[in-house]
Chain A
Amino acid sequence: MKILARPLALLALFATILPPTLFLLGVMGEGTMKIVLLCATVVWFASAPFWLRGGES
């Protein structure tokens, strides 16, 4: 999981900002954009804790 965490988390961040950009450019619809954002959120919170270790001390 730790090996996958970093690329998954980075992918989630990318998927958080890409859909709104595509929506702005008129390439993606509003409904799809919101669904992708929600999926990206779930992936971020599932993967980032294994990557970012801060805040423990």
Chain B
Amino acid sequence: MVDKSEHYAGDEFEREVVPEGARKGASAFWGMYAGEHTAGTEFMIGPLFVAWGASAFDLIFGLLLGNLLAVLTWRFLTTEIATQRRLTLYCQLERITGRKLVVLYNLLNGVLFCFLAGAMVTVSATAVGVPFGGAIRMPTFADTLPTGVAWISACLAIGAAMTFVAARGYGFVARVGHIAAPWMLLVFLACGLVMLGKLGSTDLFELIRPPEGGVSRMGFWGVVCFAWFCNAAMHLGMSDLSILRFARKPSSGWAPAAGMFLGHYLAWICAALLLVYWVREKGVDPAVGMAPGPMVYDAVGLAGLICVVVAGWTTANPTIYRAGLAFQGLFPRLSRVRATVAAGAVCTVASVFPAIAMKLLDFVGIYGTILAPVGAVIAVDHFLARRLGIRAEYSASTGSSFNPAFLLAWALPVALALWLYAARGVAPFFLPLPAWVACGLLYVLFSRLLRGKVA
């Protein structure tokens, strides 16, 4: 164990076990999770539930169950491994798979982070565009391409500003995000209350109903799976090992409940009411939808626009920063600033295309399907390797930089899942769990086949 005094302030302990003195109490995690999961994209997800035909029952009880399952996964899977191993995902993965496959994971992670940050910039642009009136045509759920030169200019300006700030380090933005979190949550709640007032009813079961004669694309289990797996890369995929390894006790693993039940429950339902109002009172086609900026401005005025921009900004910046770090992992000679600027450029270009934000339910499912299975290998390695007679931490114990069993176990289920999505139209939020289970089973199988049983 390394003494804390040997480390400089802000040390991240990227290549070592987090020492006793650097560990944190539960309160540090509750606030962080509450802030991180009240993002600008929540203004997109709530209305998309309505567009997909979810009912009030699906939302109220489906989100309750899905978020509970997500919290339990964080608590009893991710945090258990995080507090026993106390290593980052990258370090843990490298000990199992070797350096080469961590590079591949970094590439995918970095690119997906860029697209996610791009969606946040898109949401912010819908708010910044409001004061310009009709000069900027706002995208709808049906838009995949840029809606005009003015829209492109708005996205490029916001993306460039966010990249500039992220390149300078995100300490300031992290602080703004921390400070804004309680206020942002109340603005979400304010939107919900105002919409109930304008709709003249507080009966959610009467207000949130699938369109008559329309086909619902998302029922109860769809909502459950979306809520459970929209952060699959973080819990099942073990990305949050990097955060929760700092937890003094495993009980800190309950902290994601703050993000789930405030950001992914209350905020989503309030945001859903925004589109319910526009569909009922302004005749908007739910399938076409409405950009979040104008809806929030109509509900709570300028404070709402500030909320959309701040929520997008404070979550896009750390995402750009993390994408930069992932790219830096690919090219170690690249400076952090240049890596962040490269990530910001990709994110800004992605933001111009509304396809990602407007199809966020799909994107989030695909994101989890690609990255979450990696966590199954870590779970098998941690809990089952010795019992099943396969070598634990294969690369660390053999010195190999490439673990073919991992590559096959990861690639096959992900390829099959993506085929099911693209060719068979399976909703992507149903895919992370089967892909995760298949990856774990295949890792055991291929480890046995390629290397035999360890005595």
| Smallest CB gap from A54: residue in B | B178
A12 to B186, CA, bound (A): 11
| Smallest CB gap from B35: residue in A | A55
| Residues of A with C-beta under 8 A to B21 | none
A22 to B99, CA, bound (A): 59
Rounded to whole Å, the gap between the CB of A13 and the closest CB of chain B is 6
Q: Chain A contact residues: over half helix, strand or loop, or mixed?
A: helix
Q: Say whether A34 contacts B302, CB under 8 Å.
A: yes
On whether A16 and B183 interact (CB within 8 A), knowing A37-B303, A41-B306, the answer reads: yes
A7 to B302, CA, bound (A): 24
A1 to B304, CA, bound (A): 27
Rounded to whole Å, the gap between the CB of A10 and the closest CB of chain B is 10
Which of these, B171, B177, B303, contacts A34 with CB under 8 Å? B303
Q: Say whether A52 contacts B196, CB under 8 Å.
A: no
Rounded to whole Å, the gap between the CB of B27 and the closest CB of chain A is 10
A32 to B46, CA, bound (A): 27
Which of these, B31, B186, B190, B197, contacts A54 with CB under 8 Å? B31
| Residues of A with C-beta under 8 A to B197 | 20, 23-26
Q: Say whether A38 contacts B194, CB under 8 Å.
A: no
User: Is B207 in the interface zone, CB < 8 Å from A?
Assistant: no
A52 to B178, CA, bound (A): 8
A33 to B300, CA, bound (A): 8
| Residues of A with C-beta under 8 A to B176 | 55
User: Is A17 in the interface zone, CB < 8 Å from B?
Assistant: yes
Which of these, A12, A16, A52, A57, contacts B190 with CB under 8 Å? A16
- Per-position binary interface string of chain B over residues 190-231, scored 1 when its CB falls under 8 Å from any chain A CB and 0 otherwise: 110110110000100000000000000000000000000000
Contact residues, A40-57 vs B (CB, 8 A): 40-41, 44-45, 48-49, 52, 54-57
Measured CB to CB, the residues of B under 8 A from A are 9-10, 31, 171, 174-180, 182-183, 186-187, 189-191, 193-194, 196-197, 202, 300-304, 306
Given contacts A45-B183, A55-B175, list 18 more A-B pairs with CB under 8 A: A16-B187, A16-B190, A17-B189, A19-B190, A23-B193, A24-B193, A24-B196, A25-B197, A37-B301, A37-B304, A41-B306, A48-B183, A49-B179, A54-B178, A55-B177, A56-B175, A57-B9, A57-B10
Can you identify 24 A-B contacts, CB atoms within 8 angstroms? A16-B183, A16-B187, A17-B190, A19-B190, A20-B194, A21-B193, A24-B193, A24-B194, A24-B197, A25-B197, A33-B300, A34-B300, A37-B301, A37-B303, A38-B302, A48-B182, A52-B178, A54-B31, A54-B175, A55-B175, A55-B176, A55-B179, A56-B171, A57-B10
